[in-house]
Structures are given as C-alpha cells and as structure tokens.
Amino acid sequence: MHIGIDSFVAAVTDPTTGEAVGPQQRMAHLLEEIALADQVGLYSFGIGEHHRPEYYDSAPAIILAAAAARTERIRLGSAVTVLSAADPVRVFQQFATLDLISGGRTDLVVGRGSFTEAFPLFGLPLSDYDSLFTEKLELLLQIRESERVTWSGRHRPALTGQGVYPRPAQERLPIWVGVGGSPESFARAGLLGLPLMIAIIGGEPRQFAPLVDLYRRAGAQAGHAPEQLQVGLHVFGYVGESTEAASDTIYPGWHEMFTKISRERGFRQPTRAQFDATSGPDGAFFMGSPQTVAEKIRRVSDQLGGVDRLSIQMTNPRLAHADLLRGIELLGTEVAPLVADA
C-alpha cells in the first residue's frame, strides 16, 4: 500500500502566537512540507482545489509545478480537480505540463468537489452538477487517448480534430475519479476502468465496503482487469508522538474547521465527544501515534477488500508549521514502513 499526504493549503493561525500566517509565508511552508514528504519517502502529495477565503489552493497545478522543481521521487497530483467547473482541455494541458516538469510523477484526480463555489464563480448552473462532470470526464479521457480530438457535447464548444498539447511524459496520464458516497459514482468509475479515490470525511470507513464491491463488480462486468481497479482513500488525520499528543495538537483546528462547515450546512455544532468517536478505532479520522495509525490503516484495508493508496489530509487552521512537519516525518519514517505490505 502506498501512503501519501493531501493538503487544502488552509489559512493558518499560529496556535502559539495567535497571529495569522500570511498567504506568501503559507506557500513557502507548503513547499517545505512537500520537500520533506519527498525526503522521508512518502509516495505522493496531493493539492486540493477550493475557491474559498480559508484555502489557498485555487490553482493546484501551479503549486505542484513549483513542488516538482524541489522534489525527486514523490508523485504529485490533485486532490481533487473540480472537473465539472473546468475546461478538460486546459486541465489536460496543465497536468501534462506538470508531468513534463516532474519527469512523469503526476496523477490527476478529478471529481465534482464537496463545495459548490466554483459553479457560480465560473458561470455554471448547479442544476447541471452531474451532467457537467459526466460529459467533461468523457472528453478528458478522449483527450488522454488521442492527440487529435473530435467531440461534441452540451456544455462546451465542439472539437473538430484539433490537437491538444503538450502530451505528458507518461504514456498515459493516470486519471483517478474522486468520489463521496454516491453508488452511481462508484459504478461509473468501475465501468470506465478508472482507479477510485474515496473521500471519507465522516461515519465509519467500513461502511464503504458495499460501494467498493459495487465498483469492483462493475469493473469486472465491463471486462477490466482486477489490477486496473485500484482503490485509494482520502482521509483526515494526523500522526503524533502519542495518541494523546496527536489529539491535543489537532483538536482546536478540527473544531474550528468543522464548526464553520456545520454552520454553512445546517448541521449541529461539533463536540469533543464527536471528535473522539471520529478518531476512534472505527471512525473516519486517522489520528494517533504511528502504531495506532498504522493499525487502523491495515484494519480498514482489510475491511474494504484491499486498499492500494491512502492519503492523509492534515490541513488544519490551528496547526503549527513545526507540528505539521513532524506529523509528515512520522508518517513517512514510521507509519509507511509498517503498512507497506498491507
């Protein structure tokens, strides 16, 4: 199993001083985090895409290109690119360029996103939420397969044989589908034979087992080889020296982040009891000592019939840069070796 990091490049308030970390310094910190992830042997680093004031990741390909010039081995990708609100031609061009800069270390994870700000920002109706993604994914896959593209659809002007350049360093740019909890999304990824990245932000990971089984059955019925049907998990988490230390470090930012989301979506305000349950053995949050996190990763992989990749999202608005660096170091040097053969 491959272990990596995802980041939404959250705006951070330093917990020791109470001062906001400016966006320029936050970007410098981020590049340091990615360089460390490369040094400690983590497999991948993904950057999300949001169009909100609390995140600085609206242009992930640019951030990843800067990281590519500072790293040697780590794979660099999106987590996720909001394809529904983007032009597939430009998405392919950007990530093919990133692939050239990185020497073939790029993965593209596409999805519809868990927030909706991108739709009005780019003049797209939310009523077309699903059809936009379906159509644009079809075009993106066609661009990957053919340098010159003939295609027509509802949401974008037709292509009549134009070439899409540059082409990536890899023979086929890896394209993963990011999903939440929709059975249709799991089945579609399986039918297309695309690797699956599941965003688990609540509940219990084992509850996704029937959906993963649906994905694999759909892929098998469509004639795709089992090794083609990879499963990845995007989860929240943090690794500390001990489970208690990890909990104390991460809780203030977790509470701030989920309080904001709960207010926006009309949910009940999160509590410490909820945090503890979410961080427990069966919860969605992968948090604790290296041994605790490794055991949980292995257990969840068994529950889902095998997981190929797991990326821990450590973004937190109250997490000090030094603490995040230490979490990355522990994940790479202690957790990843424990689960390498899971």
Residue 310's contacts (CB-CB under 8 Å, 6 or more residues apart) are: 1, 2, 3, 4, 232, 233, 235, 286, 297, 301, 339
Helix (H, G, I), strand (E, B) or coil at 107: strand
Per the structure, the complete domain to which residue 80 belongs is given by 2-341
| Residue 247, pLDDT above cutoff 80 | yes
> What pLDDT is recorded for position 115?
87
Residue from 202, 201, 316, 205 nearest 255 by CA: 316
In angstroms, the CA 321 to CA 318 distance is 9
> What pLDDT is recorded for position 263?
86
Residue from 71, 62, 78, 75 nearest 36 by CA: 71
Residue 132 is part of a domain; what is its CATH number? 3.20.20.30
AA letter at 274: Q
> What pLDDT is recorded for position 342?
62
Residues 79-126 pLDDT 10s? 999 999 999 999 999 999 999 999 999 999 999 987 899 999 999 999
Domain count, the chain: 1
| Residue 269, pLDDT above cutoff 90 | no
